[in-house]
């Protein structure tokens, strides 16, 4: 793992060290309570034809939580922007869940640097607040407020149970090995901060019309009510995304069913690399 020291703190990231001079650049942003390791299968599938960087987001993996109360999204975007600046040329972004919401935010802030944008169920919950998807907003704001309260009381186990009960299934935390339970509980302060940040984002339609790069929007047929609302809003706001619903897939499909998700990502990235003029070479 590599450590990038930014003006707001360290960022731990994986870099595959690809040395092909014309390899396109790809940044992978993981979901909440995960780490860069969630992309292990995708990185292997891509082979050596991409320069891949996969950071541990704040409070996950080897990137610690900051010792202050700066707005989480600003902090996260600042560190990721510093990492982007180390990558020469246009960068393709792939994000899942919170990582998808971050990818959307990075593309909004620096559209000239982003060659393409692929998201699996991005949790840009701020889009629901003033939308017609009031039931979805009520569902996720109730969960988020519960997460924030449990973390504030130091109830990390209860917070982790509530988090995985919603995103996977009831009892999901207790079905995991002890070391994974401990890791997820340790991520709960970051998850609570992420909920606060996502609820506070106030995007406008103009924020999305500038996103003219190729966009892939993936969603599982078993998505939660809140996620379905976010995806519906993005379909409406983004100019012409490639939109795919995966039959039988739920929110954690990028980790649980990479055999379903990864071929779609690779096909999209192959197309986007050609559009960006970098030409993806595959092994013969």
Using CB atoms within 10 Å of the CB of residue 154, give its burial: 0 to 12 exposed, 13 to 18 middle, 19+ buried: exposed
pLDDT of residue 129: 85
Residue 156's CB is within 10 A of a number of other CB atoms, namely 19
Is residue 152 scored above 70 in pLDDT? Answer: yes
pLDDT of residue 68: 65
Q: What is the DSSP secondary-structure string of 86-103?
A: TS-S-EEEEEETHHHHHH
pLDDT of residue 47: 79
Condensed to tens digits (0 to 9), the pLDDT of residues 202-233 reads 766 678 888 999 999 999 999 999 999 999 99
Rounded CA separation 138/120 (Å):
22
The phi, psi pair for 239, rounded to 5°, reads: -80, 95
pLDDT of residue 205: 67
- Rounded to two decimals, the pTM is 0.93
What secondary structure letter does DSSP report for 155?
-
Rounded CA separation 64/116 (Å):
29
User: Residues 43, 54: contact at Cβ < 8 Å?
Assistant: yes
Q: Does domain 2-123+204-275 have CATH number 2.40.50.100?
A: no
Is residue 7 scored above 90 in pLDDT? Answer: no
Rounded CA separation 123/35 (Å):
17
Please identify which residue in the block is written with the tokens 């009381």: 153
Percent of the chain scored above 90 by pLDDT? Answer: 72
Is residue 249 scored above 60 in pLDDT? Answer: yes
Mean pLDDT (the chain, rounded): 90
Q: What is the Cα 41 distance to its own chain's centre?
A: 16
What secondary structure letter does DSSP report for 47?
T
Tokens of 69: 């109360």
Q: Which helix (H) or strand (E) holds 192?
A: helix 178-200
CA distances from 112 to 24, 26, 83, 264, 276 (A): 15, 15, 16, 24, 12
Average pLDDT over every residue of 154-159: 97
Model confidence at 201, in pLDDT bands (50, 70, 90)? Answer: confident
Condensed to tens digits (0 to 9), the pLDDT of residues 78-91 reads 999 999 998 888 99
Residue 125 gets the label, from left (phi > 0), alpha (psi -120 to 50) or beta, of alpha
Rounded CA separation 248/220 (Å):
7
3-state helix, strand, coil split of the chain in percent (to 5) is 50, 15, 35
Model confidence at 200, in pLDDT bands (50, 70, 90)? Answer: confident
Model confidence at 48, in pLDDT bands (50, 70, 90)? Answer: confident
Residue extents of the structural domains in the chain: 2-123+204-275
Model confidence at 282, in pLDDT bands (50, 70, 90)? Answer: very low
Is residue 104 scored above 90 in pLDDT? Answer: yes
Higher-confidence residue: 81 or 7?
A: 81
pLDDT of residue 278: 47
- Selection from 182, 176, 191 nearest residue 146 by Cα: 191
Residue 171 gets the label, from left (phi > 0), alpha (psi -120 to 50) or beta, of left
The CA-CA-CA angle for residues 153, 166, 222, to 5°, reads 165
Please identify which residue in the block is written with the tokens 């969603």: 219
Percent of the chain scored above 70 by pLDDT? Answer: 93
Q: Which helix (H) or strand (E) holds 161?
A: helix 156-167
Give the three-class secondary structure for 52.
strand
């Amino acid at each position: 793992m590599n450590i990038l020291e930014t003006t707001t703190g360290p960022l731990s990231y994986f870099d595959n060290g690809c040395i092909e001079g014309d390899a396109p650049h790809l940044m992978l942003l993981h979901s909440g309570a995960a780490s860069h390791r969630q992309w292990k299968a995708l990185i292997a599938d891509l082979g050596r034809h991409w320069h891949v960087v996969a950071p541990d987001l704040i409070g996950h993996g080897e990137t610690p939580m900051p010792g202050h109360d700066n707005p989480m999204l600003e902090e996260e975007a600042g560190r990721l922007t510093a990492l982007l600046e180390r990558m020469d040329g246009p960068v393709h972004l792939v994000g899942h869940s919170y990582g998808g919401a971050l990818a959307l935010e990075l593309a909004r802030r620096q559209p000239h640097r982003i060659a393409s944008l692929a998201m699996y169920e991005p949790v840009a919950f701020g889009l629901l607040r003033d939308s017609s998807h009031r039931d979805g907003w009520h569902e996720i704001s109730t969960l988020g407020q519960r997460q924030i309260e449990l973390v504030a009381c130091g109830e990390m186990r209860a917070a982790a149970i509530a988090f995985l009960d919603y995103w996977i299934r009831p009892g999901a935390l207790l079905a995991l090995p002890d070391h994974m339970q401990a890791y997820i509980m340790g991520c709960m302060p970051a998850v609570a901060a992420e909920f606060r940040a996502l609820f506070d984002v106030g995007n406008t339609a103009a924020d999305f019309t500038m996103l003219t790069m190729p966009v892939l929007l993936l969603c599982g047929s078993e998505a939660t009510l809140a996620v379905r609302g976010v995806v519906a809003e993005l379909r409406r706001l983004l100019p012409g995304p490639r939109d795919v619903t995966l039959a039988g897939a739920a929110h954690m499909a990028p980790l649980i069913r990479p055999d379903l998700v990864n071929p779609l990502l690779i096909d999209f990235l192959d197309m986007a690399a050609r559009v960006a003029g970098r030409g993806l070479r595959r092994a013969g």
